[in-house]
Structure 1
Amino acid sequence: MRNAITIFLSLAVLALFIGLGTWQVQRLQWKEGVLAQIDARIAADPVALPQAPDKARDTYLPVMVAGQFGGGTLRVLVSTKQAGAGYRLISPLQTDQGAILIDRGFIRVADELPPVPTGPVTIEGNLHWPDDRRSSTPDNDVAGNTWFARDLDQMADTLNTKPLLVITRQMTPPEARVLPLPVTSEGVPNRHLEYAGTWFLLALTWSVMTLTLLWRKKRRNS
């Protein structure tokens, strides 16, 4: 009787682990579909900047904006796989819809801050509302011009623009000393494969433990 109860409970727990692992595989397939949609949206043909951009509707929207840079550049600390530690450069662009924030691209930490481009420019990029801040992220050092998170409201207040950010994919004319860091889907969390592996590993471990326990009970009773 006890063996039957043990087997029943063990099978129930095993089924739970396998079920959770299968659910995570399904979530993985769903998330990969979402990422594919995001990638397609990012790479779509650019459109004019909407009159009233909306975060829920327009995140990653490819846009084309024209205007002239104003004074001031904010340095946002960032690390890239290709170039290591450096700064994103955020500057104000005066457009026919008012001043907005432009993420011009990347320079290394050791590089001197390049001057803001002069004259008319055209920028192809993507609207974005970054979520850089975590519980461990330091406060931005506004006085020292070292920013640890792209807090749009704070940046807009500092540069006297709308809290609206376009991340550059291509600028015409281009900046020789600044490397564009286009928005991608890489920052979208996708750990479902890891979670699925964890649940299936627990299922395997539980199976081995249960079989070992039953084998030992059988030896004691024989």
Structure 2
Amino acid sequence: MSNFSFWLSSDVCLRFTRPRSSTTAADASGEDVILKWGLLLVPLTTFCLGTWQVQRRKWKLDLIAQLASRISSEPIPLTLDPMELKELEYRPVKVRGHFDHSKELYILPRSLVDPEREAREARQLTSHPENGANVITPFYCTELGVTILVNRGFVPKKKLKPETRLKGQIEDEIDLTGVVRLSETRKPFVPENNIEKNRWHYRDLEAMAKVTGAEPIFIDADFKSTVPGGPIGGQTRVSLRNEHMQYIITWYGLCAATSFLWYRKFIQKIPL
């Protein structure tokens, strides 16, 4: 009787024990499958991001080419149509009129845009660009009958006050060529414009127009507008950041590395 009881209890234990280990193995196998295909998403995702950056780089190069072509095109008469102006940023325009130097505005801090100097300093470890401001002056267009805003160009800090550059404060009616610029929003970490102190840090055309009584139309005067003793024109920076190649290398590099690790782990079964 005791032997039968022992056999019965052993049989019951075996019956309950076998399914449990079988279930555990099945669960472990299922987890391995989920892990295997889940981790495959990493190289797939990085490959997609790298491919997306290839397309972004192509778009950016096309945009840079368009801007270069636009800024070098022949100047056209300035239009007052707001809808047309939105399509003319970086487009050269020509106007005739005279400045009102009594209402100068200053965008600062700024450094001189000089492509030749920047090309020389690009080969150096350090550079020391001179700080100053861009001088924004109302300009009455005699043919259009309106006052617009003109970025006459760069002046060093020591020449910020108009009385230090009287020779450059031209009073005659002149023909002026420049490129259309639109209003811009404040970027992160850029200070707010201080209207009371006449310290502007970004182009807020509505505010500038309100202060000077001009229309919210803004052009950067070209380098040819520079007069001895006055601001240096041609301060339009048209270069766009193009870091997409770095992103392409990064994403495709991660794709290659994670693909290799996945292959060793799940195909070759080599412990990592």
2:171 aligned counterpart, secondary structure:
coil
Contact 1:42 1:184 in 2 (8 A): no
Offset at 1:130? 4.1
Higher helix share: 2
Contact 1:124 1:170 in 2 (8 A): no
Query: Of 159, 181, 186, which aligns to 1:128?
Result: 181
- Listed as ranges, the matches of 1:54-203 within 5 Å are 54=83, 55-70=85-100, 71-80=102-111, 82=118, 83-96=129-142, 97=144, 98-113=146-161, 114-115=165-166, 116-131=169-184, 133-172=186-225, 174-186=227-239, 188-203=240-255
Is there any run of 5+ residues in structure 1 with no aligned partner, and where? none
| Compared CA separation, residues 44 and 213, structure 1 to 2 (3 A) | same
Instruction: Provide the identity percentage.
Output: 26
TM-score normalised over the length of structure 1: 0.84
TM-score normalised over the length of structure 2: 0.70
Contact 1:74 1:90 in 2 (8 A): yes
What one-letter code is carried by the residue in structure 1 that aligns with 2:61?
Answer: E
1:98-130 alpha-carbon deviations (Å, 9 max, x no partner): 100000000122334334321112211101114
Contact 2:186 2:192 in 1 (8 A): no
1:203 aligned counterpart, secondary structure:
helix
What one-letter code is carried by the residue in structure 2 that aligns with 1:102?
Answer: V
Contact 2:223 2:232 in 1 (8 A): no
| Compared CA separation, residues 37 and 138, structure 1 to 2 (3 A) | same
1:142 aligned counterpart, secondary structure:
coil
Question: How many residues end up aligned between the 2 structures?
Answer: 219
Deviates more, 1:195-204 or 1:96-105: 195-204
Partners of 1:19 and 1:213 lie apart in 2 by: 22
What do you get for the CA RMSD once the two structures are aligned? 2.8
Offset at 1:201? 3.0
**Structure 2 residue 69 is matched with structure 1 residue 17:** no
Q: Larger C-alpha radius of gyration, 1 or 2?
A: 2
Deviates more, 1:36-45 or 1:50-59: 50-59
Contact 2:226 2:233 in 1 (8 A): no
Q: Which residue of 1 aligns with 2:71?
A: 42
Higher strand share: 1
1:124-162 alpha-carbon deviations (Å, 9 max, x no partner): 110111425124322222222211111111111111100
Is there any run of 5+ residues in structure 2 with no aligned partner, and where? 1-28, 119-128
Offset at 1:193? 2.5
Partners of 1:162 and 1:175 lie apart in 2 by: 28
